[in-house]
């Protein structure tokens, strides 16, 4: 990400290098790509989340925006399905197995070893004794989790702020949730083998089947069009503008940018002002569909957030990605920053386009730059 400005300067240099100073600047804006950068939060390595499936370094041009927002590098879907082995995976998926290994025979081992009647002869409450034993084992489990978190803090130079304490508290609550599940299974008074199978079944349902079913249900409840549809609508709007009278195209542009109405636009020949007005026409055509797509994404994510508590691993993972700023709201915030940057570029270069300036008359280094931090 830090190489973006250098790469952008090199790309622009290759474009401007062979051009004479009197070349039309508006013609070159078609080719100029401006780099954006979504800088990760310090917590991003802890929970990669959706950052590996969404673009974080879009390059945009002064053309219609909707066709550029959802560009992404092609990736291997099989590798994407495997996910990342990050700390969130360890905490969410592997730590419960440690809880199962430690807790599955918390009561049944006493029965099978013949020591349970001896314990029952004591004046202490058996339920209280069993709960205390589970809590002690949970503490033994949580200490390595805390050690992992402290190691990540030192390795990644994480600040000891509210986010750190939120992750520590959520980790403790997560371990206690699995401890409660183990205690409930122990209350069934089955053998150690049965307890182990039941707890492993709960682990499979909570960590794999449950989240998968929730995603399927969310997709059915909140069906979303492909992002490609926005690109198609934008292109249809742009290409359709070629067949519209110039006056209609410019009137639509002036409704959005009335400050340019007083600038003359040639009616008898091609002009860059007309061309970029047609690009805006493409975005106007896709605007309503883009809004529906965005609202659908937000509604689907909110629905999943409400029901994720049915599967504690999914709920815990959402907490981690929210802290790491690798969830959907963080990605949408980046897209908003790209859209705002695209608008700043337009406001910066529209005077160049409408004034028909040459390449030599433009201070290209003064163009706005994009920065976005999760």
| pLDDT tens per residue, range 4-53 | 888 888 999 999 888 898 999 999 999 999 999 999 999 999 999 988 88
Compute the average pLDDT of residues 228-238: 85
Query: Three-state SS for 373?
Result: strand
Q: Which distant-in-sequence residues (6+ apart) come within 8 Å of 185 by Cβ?
A: 104, 195, 198, 199, 202
Q: What is the mean pLDDT of residues 245-266?
A: 93
- Does pLDDT of 73 surpass 80? no
pLDDT tens, position by position, 339-363: 999 999 999 999 999 999 999 999 9
Categorize the per-residue pLDDT at 54 as very low, low, confident or very high, splitting at 50, 70 and 90: confident
Q: Nearest 5 degrees, angle CA 8-CA 66-CA 226?
A: 120
pTM for this one?
0.91
Distance, in Å, from the CA atom of 354 to the CA atom of 334, rounded to the nearest integer, reads: 30
Residue 78: pLDDT band (50, 70, 90) is low
pLDDT tens readout for residues 83-103: 678 999 999 999 999 999 998
- More reliable by pLDDT, 264 or 119: 264
Residue 160: helix, strand or coil by DSSP? coil
Confidence of residue 112 (pLDDT cuts 50, 70, 90): low
User: Between β-strands 372-373 and 34-35, what pairing exists: parallel, antiparallel or unpaired?
Assistant: unpaired
Q: Is the pLDDT of residue 81 over 70?
A: no
Give the residue, 112 or 319, on which the prediction is more confident.
319
Coil, strand or helix at 59: strand
Residue 113 has pLDDT above 70, yes or no: no
- How many CA atoms lie within 13 Å of 42's alpha carbon, on the beta-carbon side? 12
The residue-averaged pLDDT of 77-81 equals: 59
* pLDDT at 295 exceeding the cut of 80: yes
Task: Please give the pLDDT value at position 294.
Answer: 93
Distance of alpha carbon 3 from alpha carbon 118, whole angstroms: 70
What percent of the residues of the chain are helix, what percent strand, and what percent coil, each to the nearest 5? 70, 5, 30
Query: pLDDT tens, 133-142?
Result: 888 888 999 9
Among 15-19, 73-77, 126-130, top mean pLDDT goes to 15-19
> Which residue would you say has higher pLDDT here, 125 or 150?
150
* Cα–Cα dist 321/201, whole Å: 26
Name the average pLDDT for the chain.
89
pLDDT band at 220 (very low <50, low <70, confident <90, very high): very high
- Quickly state the pLDDT bin for 206 (edges 50, 70, 90): very high
Cβ count near 306 (within 10 Å): 9
Q: What percentage of the chain reaches a pLDDT higher than 90?
A: 66
- The encoded tokens of residue 143 equal 């200490």
C-alpha distances (whole Å) from 145 to each of 53, 96, 156, 172 are 27, 11, 16, 9
List Cα–Cα distances, 300 to 42, 188, 313, in angstroms.
Answer: 27, 37, 19
pLDDT tops 80 at residue 111: no
More confident residue, 74 or 275: 275
């Amino acid at each position: 990400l830090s190489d973006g400005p250098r790469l952008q300067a090199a790309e622009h240099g290759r474009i401007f290098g062979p051009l004479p100073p009197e070349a039309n600047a508006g013609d070159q804006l078609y080719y100029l790509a401006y780099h954006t950068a979504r800088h990760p939060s310090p917590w991003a390595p802890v929970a990669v989340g959706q950052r590996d499936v969404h673009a974080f370094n879009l390059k945009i041009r002064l053309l219609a925006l909707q066709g550029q927002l959802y560009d992404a590098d092609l990736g291997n879907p099989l590798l994407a399905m495997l996910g990342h082995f990050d700390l969130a995976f360890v905490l969410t998926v592997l730590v419960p197995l440690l809880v199962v290994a430690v807790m599955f025979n918390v009561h049944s081992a006493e029965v099978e070893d013949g020591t349970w009647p001896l314990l029952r002869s004591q004046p202490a409450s058996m339920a209280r004794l069993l709960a205390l034993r589970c809590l002690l084992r949970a503490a033994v489990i949580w200490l390595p989790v805390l050690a992992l978190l402290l190691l990540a803090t030192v390795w990644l130079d994480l600040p000891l702020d509210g986010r750190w304490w939120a992750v520590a508290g959520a980790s403790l609550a997560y371990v206690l949730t699995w401890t409660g599940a183990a205690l409930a299974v122990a209350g069934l008074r089955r053998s150690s083998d049965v307890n182990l199978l039941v707890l492993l079944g709960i682990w499979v349902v909570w960590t794999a089947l449950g989240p998968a079913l929730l995603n399927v249900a969310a997709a059915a409840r909140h069906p979303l069009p492909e992002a490609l549809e926005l690109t198609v609508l934008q292109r249809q709007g742009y290409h359709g503008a070629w067949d519209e009278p110039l006056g209609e195209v410019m009137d639509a542009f002036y409704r959005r940018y009335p400050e340019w109405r007083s600038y003359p636009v040639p009616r008898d020949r091609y002009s860059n002002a007309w061309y970029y007005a047609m690009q805006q026409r493409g975005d106007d055509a896709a605007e309503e569909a883009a809004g529906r797509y965005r609202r659908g994404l937000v509604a689907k994510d909110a629905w999943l957030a409400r029901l994720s508590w049915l599967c504690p691993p999914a709920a815990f993972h959402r907490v981690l990605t929210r802290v790491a700023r690798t969830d959907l709201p963080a990605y949408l915030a980046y897209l908003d920053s790209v859209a705002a940057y695209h608008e700043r570029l337009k406001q910066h270069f529209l005077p160049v386009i409408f004034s028909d300036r040459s390449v030599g008359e433009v201070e290209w280094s003064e163009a706005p730059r994009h920065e976005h931090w999760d």
